[in-house]
Amino acid sequence: MQSFDYHRASTLADATHHAGTAQALAGGQSLLPAMKLGLAAPDALVDVGGLAELQGITRTGDAIVIGAGVTHAAVAASEVVRGAIPALADLAGMIGDRQVRHRGTLGGSLANNDPAACYPAAVLALNATVHTTRRTIAADDFFVGVYTTALEPGELITRVSFPVPQADGWQKFKQPASRFALVGVFVARHASGGRVAVTGGGNGVFRCAPLEAALSARWAAAACEGVAVPADDLSSDLHASAEYRAAMIPVLAGRAVGG
Ligand SMILES: Cc1cc2nc3c(=O)[nH]c(=O)nc-3n(C[C@H](O)[C@H](O)[C@H](O)COP(=O)(O)OP(=O)(O)OC[C@H]3O[C@@H](n4cnc5c(N)ncnc54)[C@H](O)[C@@H]3O)c2cc1C
């Protein structure tokens, strides 16, 4: 790992000032391994980990608002989240291991946008809004590609607003060594219809139109049976073929909808 400057931000304004020239460090559960492996080599880090302005889980009208600095463990343990969007609490509670859950944050996961990460599927299926130091970004516009988002240099996520759905579910088929999703599917029923987001399947999180059509017509596990999901854009690797992943998606969607 190369040497770098480190600044611990005292306020969000301080962090924003430094973010112009330094990379944000939150829980360090993705960035530090990347630095150790030589995959990232920032000259400077600004630590946003302890910022009070990035904390908090609240219910605001028909949405749950979670600060970017809230850890996965805190989301998993939150009665507010579990009462309104139980699958989101389940998702957070299944991320990585205990250390990862107690250090890793919502904002760090979304900014990192690993193609097998869990939170992006929830953000997309729940039609959440990402709030930053500059603007708000709709979920459909946030995830741009592998490890790439709509965030501009120096722009920090401050919080995420998740609309409370009528029903929700999450299923992750784990890669047993890393616990990332080999395939993960988040389903949400909104007044406007069903939204289904898939992670781990390909080059980043995506919405699954055939399953959304099926679940919008009938919100039932059986509606997912036999829905054909094309394998064309899915990944094949030593863990699973694209065809295997394609076959898993409707199965996991049906389990996520439940009985
Ligand atoms: C062993 C292991 C297992 C894991 N398993 C899973 C898993 O099952 N599912 C899963 O989804 N993830 C998993 N992860 C990743 C984990 O969820 C990380 O916590 C998360 O990806 C990054 O969050 P962080 O707070 O640690 O961010 P950091 O590592 O500190 O930062 C990650 C990136 O986000 C940027 N960033 C951080 N905060 C902000 C902000 N507020 N605004 C803008 N940019 C910001 C950083 O600059 C950096 O580019 C695992 C990690 C490990 C090490």
Q: Which is the closest atom of ligand 1 to the Cα of 104? A: 19
Question: Which CATH architecture describes the domain 1-51?
Answer: 2-Layer Sandwich (3.30)
- Whether residue 177 is predicted with pLDDT greater than 90 in this model: the reply is no
**Ligand 1: centre distance to CA 114 (Å):** 8
- Whether residue 5 is predicted with pLDDT greater than 70 in this model: the reply is yes
Q: Which is the closest atom of ligand 1 to the Cα of 156? A: 42
User: In this structure, what token pair is assigned to residue 62?
Assistant: 């028909």
Q: Which residue lies with its CA nearest to atom 46 of ligand 1? A: 24
Where residue 156 falls (left for φ over 0; alpha for ψ -120 to 50; beta otherwise) is beta
Say if ligand 1 is within 6 A of residue 86 CB: no
- The pLDDT of residue 137 is 98
- The pLDDT of residue 234 is 95
Q: Which helix (H) or strand (E) holds 63?
A: strand 63-67
Q: pLDDT band at 124, cuts 50/70/90? A: very high
Q: Which is the closest atom of ligand 1 to the Cα of 32? A: 29
CA torsion angle for 39, 45, 50, 53 (degrees, to 10)?
Answer: -100
Say if ligand 1 is within 6 A of residue 148 CB: no
**Ligand 1: centre distance to CA 111 (Å):** 8
**CA–CA distance, 203 with 17 (Å, rounded to integer):** 33
- The pLDDT of residue 202 is 85
**Ligand 1: centre distance to CA 226 (Å):** 35
CATH 3.30.390.50 domain residues, the chain:
167-257
Task: State the average pLDDT for the chain.
Answer: 96
- Best residue among 18, 29, 110, 171 to mutate for probing ligand 1's pocket (most ligand atoms within 8 Å of CB) is 29
Does this model's pTM top 0.85? My answer is: yes
Say if ligand 1 is within 6 A of residue 28 CB: yes
Asked whether 162 and 126 are in contact (CB, 8 A), the reply is yes
List the CATH code of the domain at 167-257: 3.30.390.50
Task: From 84, 12, 113, select the one nearest 55 (Cα to Cα).
Answer: 12
CATH 3.30.43.10 domain residues, the chain:
1-51
- Whether residue 1 is predicted with pLDDT greater than 70 in this model: the reply is no
Q: What is the pLDDT of residues 27-57, one digit of tens each?
A: 999 999 999 999 999 999 999 998 999 999 9
**Mean pLDDT calculated for residue range 128-150:** 97
**CA–CA distance, 249 with 98 (Å, rounded to integer):** 27
What value does the CA radius of gyration of the chain take, rounded to a whole number of Å? 18
Q: pLDDT band at 176, cuts 50/70/90? A: confident
**Mean pLDDT calculated for residue range 120-148:** 98
Q: What percentage of the chain carries pLDDT values higher than 70?
A: 99
Task: From 139, 125, 117, 92, select the one nearest 199 (Cα to Cα).
Answer: 117
Say if ligand 1 is within 6 A of residue 96 CB: yes
**Mean pLDDT calculated for residue range 153-182:** 95
- Whether residue 71 is predicted with pLDDT greater than 80 in this model: the reply is yes
